[in-house]
Structure 1
Amino acid sequence: MAKDFYGELQLGILGGGQLGRMLIQEAINLNVNVHVLDPDKNAPCRNLCNSFVCGPLNDFDTVYTFGKGLDMITIEIEKVNVDALEKLEEEGVVVYPQSRIIRLIQDKGLQKQFFKQNDIPTAPFQLISSKENLRQATISLPYIQKLRKDGYDGRGVKKIISETDIDDAFEAPSLIEQWIDFDKELAVIVSRNDDGDVATFPCVEMEFNPEANLVEFLISPSNLPLEIQQRAEQLAKKIAEDLQIVGLLAVELFLTKDGQLLVNELAPRPHNSGHQSIEGNFTSQFAQHLRAIFNLPPGNTAARTNAVMVNLLGEAGYDGLARYEGIEEILALEGVYLHLYGKKFTKPFRKMGHVCIINEDREQAISTARKVQQTLRVIT
């Protein structure tokens, strides 16, 4: 960037949720002016940024007008108006990750085709235009159906186990992929700057909430054989280089029971699978994203210690003003760091915060994290 970081650079973030909030916390250290667009007037970023605009992220005029006076735009959510971002790029506003990458990743079908074209291992898949096509599918049952667009945090995914499930399948354009009998779900976060410097964070292991189908528990670094971890990190680097992305990219993978690594999905931004890096790594994912988009050298991604991240989700059966139960108890435990996202209202499985637990003893970190899971609740 031509401008320096001493109060001159104007950075816009599309999305004002928890990812934007944690990104702003790092941007303050660089004295960057941050401007946020989000449809929620009570968005977590509202009171932390230099200016806040309440408006829809998928509206061309809103996104275009928001970005016109800025030096650079980044995202904390992919569901944004890409046409407006392309227009802003044409007029000299820097958009990282690039609009073409956001467009690709918005569509899970295009993602899968990108994997196939670039020899990136992934589950066998088939693109589907309507529910009726499922009855002639070449992928055998059982399989997973995913909406091509607008699926997020476990939404837009259905398990099709038998013919009777097709009646309740998605009608919109989607893809189906072979049901993978995997051993573990893994993630690698990779960064790439405009100079082409690429760096990966250590591979992490994830556990998903079975009801909400989103990450609930994460262990860093993985203790899988080094060869598997290295393969996962090399895959993440290959994808970042094939895309020529500038910014951060989260790569989610399946480890099959016979030792294969299959890429599941991508997210071109800070990600739930990297929250533990704030306390657990020398450089956080949020600092690394800023380094990448500002074309600064990547930071040291090594783990300082064992870290376990627990997502704090809204309790089932509670919908309304958020109240937190068990904070005093968990903060009395050693190595516990609480991050609340500033969301006024809770609802079942809404991400309300996360807790990072660090310990030199991996098993102790996991044990403490389980205790946190059992103790801390978001109710009304």
Structure 2
Amino acid sequence: VLRTIKNKAAQKQYYTAHQIPTAAYTILQSATEISEHQHLLPAVQKLAEGGYDGRGVQVIDTLGDVSKGFNEQSVLEKKVRIKKEIAQIVAVDQQGKNVLYPPVEMIFNPGLNLLDLQLCPADIKQNVLWKVEAIALAVVRNFNSPGIFAVELFVDENDDVLVNETAPRVHNSGHHTIEAHYSSQFDMLWRIILGYPLGNTKPILSSIMVNIIGSEGHAGPAHYEGLEDVLRIDNAFVHIYGKLQTKPGRKMGHVTVLSNEKQDLIHKANKIKQALQVVSREQ
């Protein structure tokens, strides 16, 4: 499983081999090969190994962008007209039994290509939900492995669902489960490891999660401006990751908010984004 998942090229080949829908792609060894696959443009080039949190990703819209490409093994993936980005967490025990958490809707910062906001449950149609669950289960079942799997998917403008990538671990898209669900992803992983029954994945309340990101123009010892204001917000749970140094775009923590009302969640998330800034101060 790890051998497949740690390499994006191997991941894509795995989806193809098991007839799991994914965006059209080809595997490259150098940037010069891009010109041989013009039918995939506009595209996104992703390093096969070593990329994370938006790193190792390059947009190739036209042949004029080839000079920006990576000269090592990578995946050239045709751009999808994305309506929504969804993450589906699946837990599998040692006997192969599985449970699914409600899927979450991910909203990304386009400049940093990092998760900005995340809403649970995802606001999707019932038929799209069925596709998301069925495809995520197909991804996981073919691994034949216990564990926690976060399957990231695209929903396109035609409501077709395509797998983007899979993470075989507790994942940023599941951090909201700490407060918002009866059994968090971390509790669930311990249950799997210890051979205990799988936990209850139902939500206690709907939730939204805000990533705390290092502010632009700040690099050095981390200081959290506006933290006290955020701590005054009802049903807001702050998690600081303990990183001493900040830099632009670095994930420094997250805040989860619980509420029965979607508009209340969005209002509080925007309030948190405006109030909380990670800046650097000289020691």
Calculate the TM-score normalised by the size of structure 2: 0.97
Counterpart residue number, 1:295: 195
Amino acid at match of 2:138: K
Which of 247, 251, 254 is 2:147 aligned to? 247
Q: Deviation per CA, 1:204-248, whole angstroms, max 9, x where unpaired? A: 100111121111110001121122112212221221111012110
Q: Deviation per CA, 1:19-71, whole angstroms, max 9, x where unpaired? A: xxxxxxxxxxxxxxxxxxxxxxxxxxxxxxxxxxxxxxxxxxxxxxxxxxxxx
Q: Whole-Å Cα distance in 2 between the matches of residues 149 and 294 of structure 1?
A: 31
Is 1:264 paired with 2:167? no
Counterpart residue number, 1:187: 87
Q: Whole-Å Cα distance in 1 between the matches of residues 91 and 162 of structure 2?
A: 20
Give 1:138 deviation, angstroms: 5.3
Runs of 4+ with >6 A deviation: none
* Residues 123-142 of structure 1 aligned to structure 2 (within 5 Å): 123-137=23-37, 139-142=39-42
Q: Whole-Å Cα distance in 2 between the matches of residues 288 and 332 of structure 1?
A: 30
Q: Whole-Å Cα distance in 2 between the matches of residues 369 and 133 of structure 1?
A: 43
Counterpart residue number, 2:64: 164
SS in structure 1 of the partner of residue 107 of structure 2: strand
SS in structure 2 of the partner of residue 139 of structure 1: helix
CA contact (8 A) 1:199 1:237 kept: no
Counterpart residue number, 1:371: 271
SS in structure 1 of the partner of residue 106 of structure 2: strand
SS in structure 1 of the partner of residue 242 of structure 2: coil
Q: Give me the CA root mean square deviation.
A: 1.0
Matched pairs, number: 280
Greater fraction of residues in strand: 2
Counterpart residue number, 2:219: 319
Counterpart residue number, 1:214: 114
Q: Whole-Å Cα distance in 2 between the matches of residues 318 and 332 of structure 1?
A: 25
Counterparts in 2 of 1:108 and 1:119: CA distance versus 1, 3 Å = same
Which of 242, 247, 250 is 1:350 aligned to? 250
Give 1:273 deviation, angstroms: 0.6
Q: Deviation per CA, 1:314-346, whole angstroms, max 9, x where unpaired? A: 111111110000011111111111001111111
Counterpart residue number, 1:10: none
CA contact (8 A) 1:126 1:139 kept: no
CA contact (8 A) 2:213 2:253 kept: yes
SS in structure 2 of the partner of residue 137 of structure 1: helix
Amino acid at match of 2:205: T
SS in structure 2 of the partner of residue 322 of structure 1: strand
Give 1:304 deviation, angstroms: 1.2
Q: Deviation per CA, 1:118-165, whole angstroms, max 9, x where unpaired? A: 111000110111111111115331111111111111111111011110
Higher relative contact order (CA 8 A, sep 6+): 2
CA contact (8 A) 2:105 2:121 kept: yes
CA contact (8 A) 2:150 2:168 kept: yes
Counterpart residue number, 1:198: 98
Counterpart residue number, 1:309: 209
Amino acid at match of 1:157: V
What residue ranges of structure 1 are gaps of 5+ in the alignment? 1-100
CA contact (8 A) 2:117 2:208 kept: yes
Calculate the TM-score normalised by the size of structure 1: 0.72
Q: Whole-Å Cα distance in 2 between the matches of residues 138 and 211 of structure 1?
A: 25
Q: Deviation per CA, 1:238-281, whole angstroms, max 9, x where unpaired? A: 21111012110000000001010000001000111111111111
SS in structure 2 of the partner of residue 321 of structure 1: strand
Q: Whole-Å Cα distance in 2 between the matches of residues 131 and 294 of structure 1?
A: 46
Q: Whole-Å Cα distance in 2 between the matches of residues 332 and 279 of structure 1?
A: 17
SS in structure 2 of the partner of residue 229 of structure 1: helix
Give 1:177 deviation, angstroms: 0.8
Counterpart residue number, 2:76: 176
SS in structure 1 of the partner of residue 142 of structure 2: helix
Give 1:363 deviation, angstroms: 1.1
What residue ranges of structure 2 are gaps of 5+ in the alignment? none
Identity of aligned residues (%): 38
